[in-house]
């Protein structure tokens, strides 16, 4: 079985489970994103929620990226990592007052607002602080991203964004709110999108919306297309970097930006997913009547994507040289039937103590870890400081 390139001798001596990050791959990915986006003059804000490990954030900050945050805590993490406030955007359906105050105090680039109720509250808070809040309207473009139902966000009447039918009301409201300045429009149609035509449909819809806004004499400084570009979970060894060229070129071919207007993007998963691996040790190989279970010391408390989204992650036995593959269910120790990483997969013959790599876990892995069952949060190690 083909395996990733891991410094096995060093990893063997570390207490499991832990996240291992390939810093060279992260830097290579960031350089690719930078090249392919700056060719078109696009601005990129990394979606912090995918992974807000401080070391990861500081590498992303050093590469000159902005941050897309979904909470006050993420704004603080981004600032601490060295991302300047003027490169921070803040989205979320439920911004608390203290989070709005924090964003205004720090002078972030933009609040991506999701309802009329929120516009009124931001207007009030900004007014009491003697400030004007820059906002972008997050619009539901009603584009089906063809992805898992729990990570699709651009359809009508899900909790995110303002429906197209309510856009005019929101624009009317914005003419009365003196402490809010409309700076742009924002979209985010979902995550793990591998069908470029969904992004093409989004750009066409954004063009139509811009035409409508122009008929109302509204000029925008930026159009934000959100994140969502998918990665190849099945072939992390062959496709370690997502196809950013196809993505940005497809958008550039269709988008009708107005003079001086900027296009913004918020990739999360596609930047960090392939750089992270959850490394775990086999506690037991349990023979059932019809199945053989590999019981790991990592569970859904360390990586919840398989339990939460039925997500596939490639799993490799790093230590077994035994090429005779066998069929296993790979599970964690948490007391929940959902604590399953994979069913009926092939691994090299596996024994107690083997090191197991769960690949493509850099995004929504460590960031979603919990202490359920009294478990410790996973540690993180980096390829360049092992």
Ligand X SMILES: *Cc1c(COP(=O)(O)O)cnc(C)c1O
Return the residue of 91, 125, 315, 361 that touches ligand X, per CB under 6 A.
91
CB of 288 to ligand X, least distance (A): 36
266 binds ligand X (CB under 6 A): yes
Q: HSE-up of 74 (CA within 13 Å, CB side)?
A: 23
Cα 383 to Cα 372: distance, rounded to the nearest angstrom: 28
Would you say 17 or 268 has its CB closer to ligand X? 268
Positions 13 through 42 that interact with ligand X (CB under 6 A): none
CB of 72 to ligand X, least distance (A): 15
Would you say 152 or 317 has its CB closer to ligand X? 152
**Stretches 36-44, 195-203, 222-230, 283-291: which one binds ligand X (CB under 6 A)?**
222-230
139: tokens are 């619009």
Extended beta strands in the chain, E state: 18-21, 43-47, 66-69, 88-90, 110-113, 133-140, 162-163, 180-186, 222-224, 262-265, 276-287, 292-296, 315-317, 325-331, 340-348, 355-358, 379-382
Cα 207 to Cα 253: distance, rounded to the nearest angstrom: 12
CB of 138 to ligand X, least distance (A): 7
267 binds ligand X (CB under 6 A): yes
8 Å CB contact between 262 and 43:
yes
366 binds ligand X (CB under 6 A): no
**Stretches 223-231, 291-299, 314-322, 368-376: which one binds ligand X (CB under 6 A)?**
223-231
Q: Which of 202, 275, 209, 323 minimizes the C-alpha distance to 50? A: 275
**Stretches 44-52, 248-256, 277-285, 300-308: which one binds ligand X (CB under 6 A)?**
44-52
8 Å CB contact between 308 and 150:
yes
Would you say 36 or 354 has its CB closer to ligand X? 36
Distinct helix (H) and strand (E) counts, the chain: 11, 17
Under rule CB under 6 A, how many of the chain's residues touch ligand X? 18
Q: Residue 140: is it exposed, middle or buried by C-beta count within 10 angstroms (0-12/13-18/19+)?
A: buried
**Stretches 21-29, 210-218, 226-234, 298-306: which one binds ligand X (CB under 6 A)?**
226-234
Return the residue of 66, 268, 276, 378 that touches ligand X, per CB under 6 A.
268
Return the residue of 22, 68, 74, 243 that touches ligand X, per CB under 6 A.
68
8 Å CB contact between 66 and 266:
no
Return the residue of 66, 226, 299, 332 that touches ligand X, per CB under 6 A.
226
Which residues contact ligand X by CB under 6 A?
A: 47, 49-50, 68, 70, 91, 188, 191, 226-229, 266-270, 363
């Amino acid at each position: 079985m083909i395996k990733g390139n891991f410094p096995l001798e060093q990893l063997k001596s570390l207490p499991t489970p832990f996240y291992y990050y390939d810093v060279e791959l992260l830097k290579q990915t960031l350089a690719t994103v930078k090249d392919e986006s700056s060719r078109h003059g696009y601005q990129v804000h990394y979606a912090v929620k995918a992974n807000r490990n401080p070391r990861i954030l500081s590498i992303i900050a050093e590469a000159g990226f902005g941050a897309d945050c979904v909470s006050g805590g993420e704004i603080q993490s981004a600032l601490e990592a060295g991302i300047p406030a003027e490169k921070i955007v803040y989205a979320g359906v439920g911004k608390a007052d203290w989070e709005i105050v924090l964003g205004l105090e720090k002078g972030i680039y933009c609040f991506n607002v999701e309802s009329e109720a929120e516009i009124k509250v931001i207007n009030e808070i900004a007014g009491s602080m003697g400030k004007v809040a820059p906002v972008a309207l997050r619009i539901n473009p009603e584009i089906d991203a063809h992805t898992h139902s729990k990570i699709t966000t651009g359809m009508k009447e899900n909790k995110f964004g303002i429906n197209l039918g309510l856009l005019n009301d929101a624009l009317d409201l914005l003419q009365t709110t003196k402490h809010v300045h409309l700076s742009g429009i924002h979209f985010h149609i979902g995550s793990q999108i591998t069908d470029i035509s969904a992004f093409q449909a989004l750009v066409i819809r954004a063009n139509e919306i811009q035409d409508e806004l122009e008929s109302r004499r509204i000029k925008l400084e930026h159009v934000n297309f959100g994140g969502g570009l998918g990665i190849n979970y099945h072939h992390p060894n062959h496709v370690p970097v997502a196809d950013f060229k196809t993505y940005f070129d497809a958008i550039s071919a269709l988008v009708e930006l107005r003079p001086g207007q900027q296009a913004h993007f918020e990739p999360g998963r596609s930047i960090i997913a392939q750089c992270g691996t959850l490394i775990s040790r086999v506690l037991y190989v349990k023979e059932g009547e019809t199945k053989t279970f590999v019981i790991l010391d990592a569970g859904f408390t360390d990586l919840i994507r398989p339990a939460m989204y039925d997500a596939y992650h490639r799993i490799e036995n790093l230590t077994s040289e035994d090429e005779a593959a066998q069929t296993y269910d790979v599970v964690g120790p948490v007391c929940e039937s959902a604590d399953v990483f994979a069913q009926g997969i092939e691994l090299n013959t596996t024994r107690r103590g083997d090191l197991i790599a769960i690949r493509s876990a850099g995004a929504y892995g460590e960031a979603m870890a919990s202490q359920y069952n009294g478990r410790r949060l996973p540690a993180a190690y980096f390829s360049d400081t092992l």
